[in-house]
Structure 1
Amino acid sequence: MATRFLLIQVFVITLFVQSGFSIKCHQCSSSQDPKGQDNCGAYKLFDTRKSIPVDCNSDESVTPGTFCVKITQQGPRSFVWDGRWRQVIRRCASVADTGVTGVCNWGVKENGVYWEECYCAQDGCNGSSHISTTISAMILPFCLSIFMRYFAW
């Protein structure tokens, strides 16, 4: 009985451990783009071929972390003379405001600026326009139900 429980624990832990490597995230900020360019995807589709994800535990990373974040801010219409103002930041993160990855949080500030923060935990996942949950998080309940059914305590 104790052996089965130990095997279940080892199996569950291996779903979340990734062979000791740190996560790699895209890193850019539209506020640092050269004039006339959109390298971080504020107004155009983000080109992941032009941005190589950096190791979040290396000196290249602006902020160290264990997962990725994409922060989007957008002003109300006519916020700036040429239309809607937008800013995108992609980087590593160490703490999610909600404590959960694979989700997006959003809101509106008092000045009318819309904000959205999306957290994820796969290499380069902050390069997409949407964040998806990890396969491990989707498979875990299924695997646990199978183990519970066949290995009753």
Structure 2
Amino acid sequence: MAPHWFSGFLALWILLLRGSEGIRCYQCSSSEDGEGEDTCGAYRHYDTTKNTLVECNSGDSVTPGTFCMTVTKQGPRGFIWDGRWRQVIRRCGSVSETGVTGVCNWGIDENSVYWEECYCSTDGCNVASSYHLSGALALASLLFLVWRR
């Protein structure tokens, strides 16, 4: 029979070992795509075979974190970043605007650029954003047009 302190030590060690397992997220940015490429899913469905999952607490992660996030920005006609009118960034995150995951926040900034940030907390969950974008973008565009008149 093991001593009482040993079972406590073993339980703590298992807890620490499990706690060190971090979340894995997709990591890419449309600003890093070459001309004519869309490896981050700014214009087409995101292809998971073009990027690999990154452990959020490893040296491979651009930003460390405890959840995944997708940031999408879309400018009005004529607003272009690096020859593109839409940007997508997928990465790990450590602080969400609302403090919760499993939600998307969106708005229109002072330059009339639509933005959306989606947060999730399971491995590889930051693959989708376009299904959120289409409905929210339609509503935001309609509200913006009504507001501007």
Aligned match of 1:16? none
Aligned match of 1:148? none
Unaligned runs of 5+ in 2: 1-17, 133-149
Q: Give how far 1:49 is off.
A: 1.9
Aligned match of 1:102? 102
Cα distance in structure 1, aligned partners of 2:49 and 2:123: 14
Counterpart code for 1:72: T
Cα distance in structure 2, aligned partners of 1:36 and 1:49: 18
Unaligned runs of 5+ in 1: 1-18, 132-153
Aligned match of 2:14? none
Cα distance in structure 2, aligned partners of 1:66 and 1:84: 30
Cα distance in structure 2, aligned partners of 1:128 and 1:112: 23
Cα distance in structure 2, aligned partners of 1:98 and 1:36: 35
Cα distance in structure 2, aligned partners of 1:84 and 1:36: 10
Q: Deviations over 1:69-116 (max 9, x none)?
A: 000000012334xx9700000000000011010000000011110000
Identity %: 66
Provide the aligned length of Structure 1 versus Structure 2. 112
Aligned match of 2:124? 124
Cα distance in structure 2, aligned partners of 1:33 and 1:44: 13
Aligned match of 1:77? 77
Q: Moved runs in structure 1, 4+ residues, more than 4 A?
A: none
TM-score by length of 1: 0.68
Q: Deviations over 1:95-138 (max 9, x none)?
A: 0011010000000011110000000000000012358xxxxxxx
